[in-house]
Structure 1
Amino acid sequence: MDSSKFGWVIIIWMLSVYVGCHGETNITAEPGQNVTLPCRAPNSSENLVLLWTRPDLGPDYVFVYRDNQPDPDSQHPSFRERVELKDSQMKDGDVSVTLKDVTFTDTGTYECRVTQSQIKRKKRAPEPDLISTVHLRVSAGECVFV
């Protein structure tokens, strides 16, 4: 490979590492495990609205936090009582959530969105800022035959 092509390969690799390390995460889990979906938002929790979405699920959310509390009424039914804030105090802007007892159907792309403004309770408003993206893959562990 000549040096100019090698240079481009290095640049593309560095960009992919940068993008992967800043805002995108890949997680693999086995069915039944609890998984933390990481996200770090601005430190201020005043008027914080946190939306965890999975774009393929339509208008319902994976997790919603507004008015200083979770809002289960806006959650997709498959996530009710299975998602909670990792740190209820959201110290240092940690708005990660824990997804309990994952199943194969939880495989997908999750987006963490945060805004400091109010969003009307029942109406889907324009999307807040995308903070991080998590690609979750739930698969059975490898079998070992003896």
Structure 2
Amino acid sequence: MSAETASLCSTLLFVGLFVFVSAAQKNITAVSGQKNVILTCQAPKNNILVVKWSRADLEPEYVLLYRDEQFVPDDQHPSFMNRVDLQDRQMKDGDVSLILNNVTINDTGTYECHVFPNNEHICNISLRVVPPGQTGGHTEDGGKEAGGKEDGSVGLKVGLSVAAVLLFVAVVSFLIYRKKKVKKVNYESTCSSQS
């Protein structure tokens, strides 16, 4: 494989993976004062020992830390004290969804969920909180109206489609290159046998 073809294939695969990973982010719109908003997140069903929800723009960044079947308040951001919970503390079927109570404008941000023992990053959820009375409209990714509803599937479908197209282009490029290489080898062997 030539350096140009290898470079093209690796670039296409990198772009495809980037699009796929970034498309997994969910966007949710909620109304300030809303009683509960659920940030839905599903982990692999393996042995989950610790769940960590965080927001990188906060100091400390922890929104919730759940370990040894109990909440760990150390280093939890004060604005989330007594306002967050897991939807299922037993995490049956890998459900590590976060419940956020009494939502405020200050809750706007991007939430990340990690599960341990592997420190696996499994969810990115962008929450936008609008003032009461504001319609909020649709979420940015074409989701449903305000009120804590979500629809991250549009971005995921687009990301998967783009990744599939990029993978197809990479495979076709490789096959074309290989076919040209085979023709070149056949031509050279034909020429050398005629000499």
Question: TM-score scaled to structure 1, two decimals?
Answer: 0.71
Q: 1:113 to 1:17 in 2, by over 3 A?
A: closer
Name the structure 2 match of 1:138: 129
CA distance in 2 between counterparts of 1:65 and 1:42 reads 17
Name the structure 2 match of 1:103: 104
CA distance in 2 between counterparts of 1:133 and 1:94 reads 15
Deviations 1:100-135 (A, max 9, x none): 001000000000011126xxxxxxxxxx22101000
List alignment gaps of at least 5 residues for structure 2: 1-14, 136-195
Question: TM-score scaled to structure 2, two decimals?
Answer: 0.54
Deviations 1:29-67 (A, max 9, x none): 001111101111122345x11110000003340000112
Q: How many residues align?
A: 117
Name the structure 1 match of 2:50: 49
CA distance in 1 between counterparts of 2:75 and 2:97 reads 18
CA distance in 2 between counterparts of 1:73 and 1:18 reads 31
CA RMSD in angstroms comes to: 2.2
CA distance in 1 between counterparts of 2:116 and 2:20 reads 27
List alignment gaps of at least 5 residues for structure 1: 1-11, 118-127
Name the structure 1 match of 2:78: 77
Q: Does 1:32 align with 2:33?
A: yes
% identical equivalent positions: 51
Q: Specify the structure having the higher radius of gyration (Cα).
A: 2
Out of 129, 134, 139, which is 2:120 matched to?
A: 129
CA distance in 2 between counterparts of 1:60 and 1:133 reads 14
CA distance in 1 between counterparts of 2:76 and 2:123 reads 19
Q: 1:18 to 1:130 in 2, by over 3 A?
A: closer
Q: Is the 8 A contact 2:32 2:104 kept in 1?
A: yes
Q: Is the 8 A contact 2:26 2:126 kept in 1?
A: yes
SS at match of 2:57: helix
Name the structure 1 match of 2:164: none
**What is the CA distance between 1:93 and its match in structure 2?**
0.2
Q: Is the 8 A contact 2:60 2:76 kept in 1?
A: no
